[in-house]
Amino acid sequence: MLMTKGALLSVRMPESLAERLELLAKATDRSKSYLATIAIEEFVAVQEWQVHAIKEGIAEAQAGKVVAHDKAMEELKKWGNR
């Protein structure tokens, strides 16, 4: 990933994490900024997915697309028996 332009973000983190990041950057021959960008990108992707899935679930529940609790538990018990 080559970043020539981008937004600047200042982050305050525990000293122990900063030290770990520094060591990782040296070990991988990458900059701390590169590693932090990759980490934030992965975190944001997971959070976006989770928020989307929650909103989708809420919309389905509001539309009445739900399964009764006892039916859901019955199905889950089958999964444990495989």
Percentages helix, strand, coil for the chain (3-state, rounded to 5) are 70, 0, 30
Q: How confident is the model at residue 81 (pLDDT cuts 50, 70, 90)?
A: low
pLDDT digits (tens, 9 = 90+) for 25-41: 999 999 999 999 999 99
Per-residue pLDDT tens over the stretch 14-24: 999 999 999 99
Q: Which residue has the tokens 């590693």?
A: 35
